[in-house]
Structure 1
Amino acid sequence: SAQSCAVLLDKEKYSTVAANTNCTNYERGSAYLGQAGVNFGNFLKEGATDNLTKTLGIKKLSSPTDYTTGNRGYLTNALCLIGANTFTSSSRCPGASPRTGTNGEIEISLFANIADLIYLSYGVLDNDSNGTISDSESKEFAELNTVGITTSGMGTGLSAYNNNFEVVIGTSHFIANSDLTKCDPYDGNYTDNASSNTPCAVRVLALGTEITEIRPIYKLDDMIDITAGGELNTRVSMLSELTMISTALDSDFDSLGIGSENSIRKQLTFGLSKVDNGAKDNYPTANEACIGVLLFDVMFLLVKNAADNSTTSSELKSENLISTNDLLTAVDSTLSLLPAGASDVIEALPMNSARIVYASSSGYTDSYEEAESSLYEAMKNTRSLGIEDSVTGDGKVTFRELTCVSEN
């Protein structure tokens, strides 16, 4: 009966309840979590949160998609029973049915997601299963081809594209030459050169509004493939799993009305803080830049906002952009935002972003998918590691954050 299932749960008879199909999915899901070590009694033990590997009985996983080793098998059973559709419709849960969506089931799903994120992170990264992800373990997993890459321009073939600017006047976009004396309307290609004799000053008068921003245009001729030619299977698989779990966790929180700033949400996800670190070094000083991510960001920031063949001319206006601060501090500190001899008027104009175009077999292009073959491969491989921003404590784990685990 339902009562006997609840009584058995109180007595921690987890295997009995889990196997009893007469128990509710909520009760069976709770039992699977109990078998996986996810219960209050376990976490109240002294030092429980200091060694999550021991607390959750984490075993070394053969791959990110190893769903059955150790207690992860129980987490899989729980997620396939009461997890979000992200799981029940996936290859992890063949033959599973969608959950009914009661708050009780969602609560169990939420805890299962948190435990699975922890299990995945430590099961893959903590090679000796001692409860600590060391610097060498973190670097071994996230090792990238950073030879020849520096934040002073080494590793990227980035330079000014004919000293051209994109000029934004209100909602209108133009392509201009170096002194803004030629200013042509953007017509879908930022690789064009301005050819009219209409200055930007005349465009300003015609539109009746000031220049909103000027954006220097740079060409990217080549870049080092930071992934060492696409040796990515485990990393991409890890990222895919992290994304699936993080998405489900975010959905569960939202379904229960627990917003990102809710104190309960922050307490529940505290155990993820080592991996959900915002790509920051939070030990010993909070919110410091993570050393492990610095060289990765040289390439990441160049590709995260890249336009592809599906990008429309309207969408292109907001893609292929990089903030000037990121460009100079994280990518290439040797670049100049203005051509030599730029006037005081141009120097005084607002500038927040720069635009990038890519070398192609026939010149330059706005789509990275049309870039020269080796440049395209390097960009594609880097983008496969994720193009999402990293935010501390948001319940989502990115590759950039994984490179910083040992510094937290």
Structure 2
Amino acid sequence: MNNAFPGKTRWIGLAALLLLVATATGAPGAEIIEEIAARVNDSIIVRSEVQDRRAALVRQIEEEMPPEEREETLARAQEDVLFDMINQELLLQRARLQFDMDKYFDNLQKDFMRKNEISSQSELDLFLKNSGLTSSEFRRLLLRSNVPQDVLQFDVARKLVVTTEQIQAYYDENPDRFLLPGKVSLGEIVILADSRGREEALVLALDAVARVRVGESFDQVARDLSEAPSKEKGGNVGPFETGDLAPNLEAQAFSLPLGTVSEPMETSYGYHIMTVISRTDAGLAPLAEVREEVERTLRQKKYGEDLDIFLGKLWVDNQVVVNPRYATGKLADGGPYATLEAILSGDKPLGPHPEDQTGEDAGDPPELQPATDDLSSRDAAVPAGDTAPDTEAPVGDAGTPHEGPSR
């Protein structure tokens, strides 16, 4: 999750919704006994949900990525499916404490209808019927596809601060990132030797240099004598950056005084004469020119760091139990947030540690896989894909609920 920097809210369109419907689990109310993969407070994630998410992920990667990049991406993504689903559930539960979910859903539904040109409730009802969706399933899909990113925007992205001092420090400490190549625009006269021999070609080249040095314009001499395509433009070529020209020509281009003409330079094809029209030497880009780039880099870096801390605190503050049979990828060995050491900010842990608590309320921290419940031996007599409805889970101090981001 920490690879995405939230800008605009992710909106679910018609095609995306139909994809989610295609991978949704069985009809509501159907009693399906299946293995629990994880529990997040009072909500559970069952095996079929994990399998469906993996299947959808495989299809997406196969459709969007070139074949040579698929294998490694598929393996890594499939390993972390449950980890991402747990994070999504934690964010959904936190949203119930932050947002007025009814008003929030109303905003999402209005936006969905507008983007998909659905003008009335009756048209929406027909769409849901044709898609095999109940209104409650539509609500669930719409919320799950938008809420997590909105919570991250509300709790992480909007709180990012990059100071002028931090921008200056990054610029000063990373000069190699902001080096500008030298640039030069030239006038050239090319005399070819293949049809006349090198001695005659040299005589013509020396004559061209002499004409310029006695006062003729380089432009006119190039039009008269040059045998390169650039003669039609008076010999004007460029601009060239450092590394674009042959070494002997580049050395001359970046050392010849402006407005002067070079001696004929011997090349594999004959002789080359040049004058420098304009030149900018290589150097450090001014901070004013790269300030937005520096700030964007710092925001992305800080967002990744703050996101890990935020998610880590959610894992510590909530009851997350993982079936060891599903503990792959980031969930292996207890998961990335199994200890408070994984979410330190400086030297200060963000979550409550039992050793820091006193009195009767001091208790054990939530156990991660394996937890007190042996999920590997438990089955769930629940509809596949179902979870506890709007549970007031202990997802941290979320403040006063509001109706969510404006659309």
What interval of TM-score do these two structures reach, taking the shorter chain for normalisation? under 0.3
TM-score by length of 2: 0.20
Q: Which has the higher helix share?
A: 2
Point out the structure with max Rg over C-alpha.
Answer: 2
Higher relative contact order (CA 8 A, sep 6+): 2
